[in-house]
Chains A and B, each alone.
Chain A
């Protein structure tokens, strides 16, 4: 038996008996507040997150960025505690704002010995924010400087342009942190009004990961939930999104190479196609690297990745001094994956890589918290996070081919560079 065949057998056997960690996660509702709790016995850190569902689909587009601005200002002080900062220092706690396309929230990490003091601090921030005008101005300036006007490179510009092009008919074309215009016109009264009417428990999701006693957690959470207001029912999200036919946007800039990003449709986490799509993009990235980097030196690090939104996207990106040749190869690779069935042995290696990446994302309390929140809000359900590993292991070549045909079409490309070097016809052909 040659070495390579032996290796293939090894990996197939390995995958066959790969362990799936048992689920130690529970979900429940306390006084109208939805909670997901993962117990991690013996772990020294606790990671929690208070999330507000809706993201860019919620609220007034004229006030884009209000919710993260509100949450960041809430972190600066409460009516009962002048100095949130010194409490955070004393508790060795990390408190951060997250702003995503489908949700925003406050996350906190702290050592377990500071439970429940850190929890009380989070509750106080959520229930009694000071919303001081001076804090507001400082936080607004910080967000504008770091998130809005911070200079970006051509790669990021290509990605941003592709996003705007693909989601031009959707609220995802805006940015979660808002714009210079929308943030600049927000007043304190806007924040106060939003806090009173929109920070409600029926929009909220609480995720906690740590070695905590369930009853004790429940008791503390109940006190928080009782004081959070109940808002109107959340509208269910629209079921479909049509990005339209393939499209192209070229931004002229004098650069040593062209930066190209293409977006296309994708299933969201928990969707039956998601495991096969995950494997398909690993395969696609592998082939692009083989052809563009190894064989032809046309691009350093071509990428193929899945996005993280409710109306999800897949992405291809590359930078090349010879974009015509590079993109011709990209389209040939896409065609190959659409037409040809992968050998099972080839597929098994990619499945193993997908599993490794999955476990990497779940590592640590903060990683587990982020993934649980993500699968609950953006995906079908947090329960399906546990099913993802076993589902990956059952992906078949036919499924990979099917998702390539189903999703990798109507690609919306954005290019930053020299318009003369862009193969327009090719880029709008799929």
Chain B
């Protein structure tokens, strides 16, 4: 359990942390909230002589309104261009090189993060660098145009793979007109509309301390780290709650089955079944249950894998659930020999209906799936880079309490919760089926007739 404290308690905490062993010492990490609302996590890493800093904001593609597709990604790239104190990207990069910093940014559906790593004795300089990175981008017109061109190039590269074409096709069907709030790139034209003023608006609205979590991880001295964060980030001014002034609209619900067949020169049939699964805001328990559902379907000796893969027409099938605040997609990705494509789709869809049988998963299945998920959490904690990323994503989804309680919430999932999740979100629910096959198969494959009505 993490320790939650307010800013005025920091000096006291700093003193307590000087003692050889405090209650906090037994915890994996410590957390606090600065007076300006910035949440801080200290995550010591025992063996790594490196400091990792991740600053994550609760905004991503989900804030994009029509005509803004790709803007949050563009904005995240602009962090690494000119700064007030580094008036060209060269000087910014040079400063990073002097400090030996590796940096990157990532903007996903519901969060945007900047990650830097550097030598363990350069924490203070790293914190200053990170704050300047997110707080002072100049967002100049020429540089926006340059980054836009580079992003379009990246978009071309992504579109050139058949896997991304399949995912995009399924994504468009699953989310309809709100796909812009899920996909980072789905509309080239909208990137052209990104102006200096609009990116500054994103900057002003969302890049504020009370919409952020800072994780300081690695080989750190807790007392020193908290003092330096307080000194460097403490003066960063709080902003208005962006989601109070600009509440997020809900997603468009999928109301009917949709399907698509992509004809490409592929050797095996690629199958994508996806549903609108639970979102944390509406169904927090469903989020845990959906993760367990995916683990149950992935059990190598479980009924699903045994019938469809080991003794069935599929070469592989993987279930995944991507938790989000509002509607998380639940997906089954499968591959079959081309000649088995029709049979594979039909059996997959029929098997989903069979999940309604209460005895489909055995008690042993639940034990194995639960244990497997706990080991997955342990494996995240075994690699501090992965742990930092998972913590950032978990915080963006539902806060640090969610991060803390995640293993327990998985353990608490009962067979009844799983059945409820399956019935609410998968069995008989609107489904998107996207299939990529060769030309010959594409002419004959039928998806609609085998779909659930």
Contacts and interface: CB of A to CB of B under 8 A. Distances in A.
Interface of A: 3-4, 7-8, 10-11, 13-15, 17-21, 43-45, 83, 85-86, 88-90, 92, 109-111, 138, 141-142, 144-146, 149-155, 255-257, 286, 289-290, 293-294, 297, 299-301, 319, 321, 345-346, 348-353, 355-357, 359-360, 363-367
Given A151-B266, A356-B119, A89 B301 contact: yes
Contacts of A151: 161-163, 264-267
Nearest to A148: B267
B448 interface: no
B157 A356 contact: no
A363 B100 CA distance: 19
B299 interface: yes
A319 to B, nearest CB: 6
Given A21-B49, A355-B50, A360 B385 contact: yes
12 contacts: A11-B99, A19-B120, A44-B381, A89-B302, A89-B372, A153-B157, A286-B93, A297-B146, A300-B153, A356-B50, A356-B102, A364-B382
Contact of A286 (B97, B315, B364): B97
A124 B99 CA distance: 50
Contact of B149 (A7, A13, A297): A297
B310 A138 contact: yes
Contact of B300 (A18, A19, A89, A290): A89
Nearest to B153: A300
A48 to B, nearest CB: 14
Given A14-B119, A19-B120, A145-B315, A364 B386 contact: yes
Given A89-B300, A142-B315, A357-B102, 19 more contacts: A7-B98, A10-B99, A11-B100, A11-B119, A14-B120, A15-B100, A18-B49, A89-B302, A144-B267, A149-B267, A256-B156, A286-B97, A293-B150, A297-B150, A352-B99, A352-B100, A356-B100, A359-B48, A360-B117
B343 interface: no
Contact of B119 (A3, A18, A111): A18
Contacts of A88: 300-301
Interface in B379-412: 379, 381-386
Given A145-B335, A145-B337, A290-B90, A356 B118 contact: yes
A21 B47 contact: yes
Chain B binding surface SS class: helix
A186 to B, nearest CB: 17
Nearest to A354: B100
Nearest to B372: A92
Contacts of A7: 95, 98-99, 125
B82 to A, nearest CB: 10
Contacts of B163: 151
The 4 closest A-B pairs by CB, nearest first: A352-B100, A364-B383, A149-B267, A86-B301
A2 B156 CA distance: 43
A350 B93 CA distance: 12
B122 A10 contact: yes
B374 A92 contact: yes
A365 B310 CA distance: 30
Given A85-B300, A145-B337, A348-B100, A45 B120 contact: no
B281 interface: no
Contact of B301 (A85, A152, A155): A85
Contacts of B335: 142, 145-146
B378 interface: yes
Contacts of B379: 45, 109, 364, 366
A351 B90 contact: no
Contacts of B265: 151
B160 interface: yes
Contact of B100 (A20, A110, A349): A349
B197 interface: no
A148 B208 CA distance: 48
A356 B103 CA distance: 11
A74 to B, nearest CB: 15
Contacts of A111: 375, 378
A153 B49 contact: no
Contacts, number: 189
Contacts of B90: 290, 294
Contacts of A286: 93, 97
Contacts of A141: 315, 337
A238 to B, nearest CB: 35
B224 interface: no
B132 to A, nearest CB: 11
A394 to B, nearest CB: 15
Interface in B299-348: 299-302, 305-306, 310, 315-316, 335, 337
A5 to B, nearest CB: 9
Interface in B82-140: 85, 89-90, 93-102, 117-122, 125
Nearest to A44: B378
B49 A359 contact: yes
Nearest to B264: A151
Contact of A44 (B305, B372, B382): B382
B160 A154 contact: yes
B371 interface: yes
B219 interface: yes
Nearest to A13: B121
Contacts of A154: 160
Contacts of B253: none
Contacts of A352: 99-101, 118-119
A363 B97 contact: no
Contacts of A363: 48, 382-386
A21 B46 CA distance: 10
B154 interface: yes
Contacts of A145: 267-268, 315, 335, 337
Contacts of A18: 49, 119-121
B122 A11 contact: yes
Interface string B158-199: 001111000000000000000000000000000000000000
A306 to B, nearest CB: 16
A351 B100 contact: yes
A252 to B, nearest CB: 16
Contacts of B160: 153-155, 255
Contacts of B300: 85-86, 88-89
Nearest to B336: A145
A145 B160 CA distance: 19
B368 interface: yes
A7 B364 CA distance: 57
A357 B119 CA distance: 11
B102 A300 contact: no
A90 B49 CA distance: 36
B441 to A, nearest CB: 14
Most buried by B among A14, A110, A355: A14
Contacts of B383: 363-364, 366-367
A153 to B, nearest CB: 4
Given A90-B368, A256-B156, A365-B382, A349 B315 contact: no
B158 to A, nearest CB: 9
Contacts of A21: 47, 49
Given A11-B100, A363-B384, A257 B156 contact: yes
